[in-house]
């Protein structure tokens, strides 16, 4: 097994390591090793690689070893959320290595399995449609549990092992504002808290237009700092943008450790010195003095038993050999891209999506003046309605 992460990945984890997606792929290399990748999302919504690995199997101990290596590399700072597929070995490894992290199943993997899991049922198209409705329109745990139980009873699916496993709220909630019909926004003027039922801030870290409309109506001139995440701030100095990806050959273990420690400490110095020409000149002078001192010490110790880079006996180091091919378990490679999957993919492409008209909530915020709100002391509840296409009015 092998694990890899460079200095740029470690630096990027400081800013984009709150929620991590981990997935494995098969048959993507000549040795049939399992390739696993740790991926985050940066402030542009782009995927950022935060580490990768090659494993010979998907057993619990393999995942434990990998997750422990990754955590040590990232400074023993576990993420807040960890997204995986429904692999039982991954789940147990995450629970053992990251007990404080919220482990979620990716909703994309779950919904992708619907056609293959329910194709044998009569009226499976209606089942798939109703299941999608329950998943995307349940905006709280209680409503999801209630709607899910009703769904299983109405279609007689209570005995289905695959579906009954989701009676507990274990899917990742991805909220689309074009699906909900009503939104409820609660504003607490004392605590300066605003919370919308669409949960856009909880899922993406961005205040939704409904919450901003309420703040505008309440004449709030400044958004609370708790709603401005560090990843969106222009004032944050992102060190990972100054670090080049490293593909150098690995050094010997003791020297590699010393090298990593020096690089880690020098990053802050270089970043600070690059702010002006004067600071850069100071660092250059200090660098020249230190180099002269180290060269003098090296010359004095020449001929001793201390090992330097030039005097290292590289022939005594065992070169890495190619790993043996791994015989994969389960279905063969030609199973990928089956006829059923191709039919499903073609059918999905033919579906037309309806685009709702954009709503200018700030212009319509004045409409909240006459119809708003339920007061409970300093807490105000607003009700938003998404109009039909062509209707630019706002119901509050």
Q: Of 107-111, 270-274, 331-335, 350-354, give the range with the top mean pLDDT.
A: 270-274
Rounded Cα distance, 368 and 352, in Å = 34
| Cα separation, 28 vs 30, whole angstroms | 7
Mean pLDDT of 354-368: 42
pLDDT tens-digit readout, 75-127: 888 998 898 888 888 889 999 999 999 888 877 777 777 777 666 666 677 77
> Both tokens of residue 346?
């073609």
pLDDT recorded at residue 321: 67
What is the CATH number assigned to the segment(s) 2-106?
A: 3.30.420
pLDDT at 39 over 60: yes
**Between 103 and 389, where is the model more confident?**
103
Give the whole-angstrom CA distance, residue 18 versus residue 20. Answer: 7
> Highest mean pLDDT range out of 95-99, 256-260, 387-391?
95-99
Q: Distance (Å, rounded) from C-alpha 365 to C-alpha 213?
A: 6
- State the burial class of residue 185 (Cβ atoms within 10 Å of its Cβ: 0-12, 13-18, 19+): buried
CA–CA distance, 250 with 248 (Å, rounded to integer): 6
DSSP string, 292-324: HHHHHHHHHTTTSS---TTT--GGGSPPPPPPP
pLDDT for 253: 62
pLDDT band at 289 (very low <50, low <70, confident <90, very high): very high
Q: How many CA atoms lie within 13 A of 188 on its CB side?
A: 7
Categorize the per-residue pLDDT at 144 as very low, low, confident or very high, splitting at 50, 70 and 90: confident
H-only helix segments in the chain: 7-16, 60-73, 88-97, 107-112, 114-118, 124-137, 141-154, 161-164, 200-204, 209-217, 253-273, 277-300, 339-350, 361-364, 368-371
How far apart are alpha carbons 195 and 204 in whole angstroms?
14
| Residue 254 confidence (pLDDT) | 74
pLDDT in tens, 131-141: 878 877 776 77
Question: pLDDT above 90 covers what percent of the chain?
Answer: 11
Pair type for strands 34-41 and 102-105: unpaired
How do the domains of the chain map onto residue ranges?
A: 2-106, 112-164, 182-233+359-385
N-terminal to C-terminal alpha carbon distance within the chain: 57
Each residue of 267-280: b (16+ CB within 10 Å) or e? beeeeebeeeeeee
Residue 268: which of 54, 70, 14 has the closest Cα?
A: 14
Eight-class DSSP state of 359: -
For residue 142, how far is the Cα from the chain centroid? 25
Residue 8: count other Cβ atoms within 10 Å of its Cβ: 19
Could you read off the pLDDT of 150-165 as tens digits, one per residue? 887 887 776 766 665 5
């Amino acid at each position: 097994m092998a694990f890899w992460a460079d200095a740029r990945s470690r630096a990027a984890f400081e800013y984009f390591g709150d929620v991590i997606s981990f997935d494995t792929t098969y048959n993507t290399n000549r040795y049939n090793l399992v390739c696993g990748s740790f991926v985050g999302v940066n402030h542009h919504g782009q995927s950022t690689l935060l580490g990768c690995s090659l494993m010979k199997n998907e057993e619990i101990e393999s995942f434990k070893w990998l997750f422990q290596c990754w955590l040590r590399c990232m400074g023993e700072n576990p993420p807040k959320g960890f997204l995986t597929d429904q692999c039982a070995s991954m789940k147990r490894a995450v629970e053992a290595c990251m007990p404080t992290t919220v482990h979620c199943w990716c909703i994309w993997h779950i919904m992708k399995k619907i056609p293959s899991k329910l194709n044998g049922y009569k009226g499976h198209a209606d089942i798939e449609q109703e299941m999608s409705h329950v998943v995307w329109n349940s905006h709280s745990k209680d409503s999801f549990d209630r709607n899910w139980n009703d769904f299983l009873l109405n279609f007689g699916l209570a005995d289905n092992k695959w579906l009954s496993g989701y009676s507990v709220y274990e899917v990742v909630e991805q909220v689309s504002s074009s699906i909900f019909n009503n939104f409820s926004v609660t504003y607490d003027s004392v605590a300066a808290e605003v919370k919308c039922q669409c949960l856009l801030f909880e899922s993406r870290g961005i205040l939704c237009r409904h919450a901003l409309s309420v703040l505008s109506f309440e004449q709030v001139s400044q958004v609370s700092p708790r709603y401005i995440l560090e990843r969106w701030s222009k004032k944050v100095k992102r060190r990972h943008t100054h670090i080049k990806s490293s593909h150098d050959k690995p050094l010997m273990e003791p020297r590699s450790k010393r090298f990593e420690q020096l690089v880690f400490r020098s990053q802050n110095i270089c970043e600070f010195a690059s702010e002006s020409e004067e600071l850069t000149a100071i660092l250059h002078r200090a660098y020249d003095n230190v180099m002269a001192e180290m060269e003098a010490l090296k010359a004095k110790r020449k001929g001793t038993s201390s090992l330097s880079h030039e005097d290292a006996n590289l022939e005594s180091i065992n070169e890495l050999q190619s790993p043996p091919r791994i015989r994969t378990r389960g279905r063969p490679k030609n199973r990928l891209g089956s006829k059923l999957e191709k039919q499903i993919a073609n059918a999905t492409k033919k579906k037309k999506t309806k685009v709702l008209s954009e709503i200018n909530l700030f212009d319509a915020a004045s409409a909240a003046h006459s119809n708003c709100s339920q007061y409970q002391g300093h807490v105000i509840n607003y009700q938003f309605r998404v109009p039909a296409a062509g209707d630019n009015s706002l119901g509050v």
